[in-house]
Structure 1
């Protein structure tokens, strides 16, 4: 297994355990977050943590399944399926107690033994339809 692939897998294993500190430890100090709809990237582990925490606040039982993962050079592509229950407020939508499932396709750039940048493309339309 390539180093970039092993690093991304280890980060997702930490995330699945709910260990955000361990997961953040797999990120570089100057980690870059690229999100659809934003003209400029965001920077820092705190930005990443805030995004993950917002998901966990809205869906405390959120779990992911890696459906595909592969690496080429310093890049790792991951196709994920998320499932959870909307028991907390998410993007100003009060809890509905509905089960949700949605996918995301993410690309990660790894430098050394840390993730330096991510491009995430979660299917927010499908997610929001399930809780609207």
Structure 2
């Protein structure tokens, strides 16, 4: 597990240094995930975008409870969904180099698939 965390940290440090790439963890109230995004400059007015994400979403009623008879914790309300969106798009800056102080309004359009899998109702990620 330590090898995976060190590898993820090194990759995120190397890809995030240029300012046009990013990798990170996303933590929310009902799940966790990772994401990667990349931006390519075409010219001053147009940028091309790509983003991919992987989410492990837990159900609204998910909770860990203590079982005094077995002296162990177990989960109740097990509902899991895996969501994997991948989007490509374009960002257009209509007033590029025309407004002072680095203010740059833009319009963005993105398109792509979203793969959703209903995971097995198990506590272990690899069993889902």
TM-score by length of 1: 0.39
Higher strand fraction (1 or 2): 2
TM-score by length of 2: 0.40
Higher helix fraction (1 or 2): 1
Structure number with greater Rg is 2
Relative contact order higher in (CA < 8 Å, ≥ 6 apart):
1
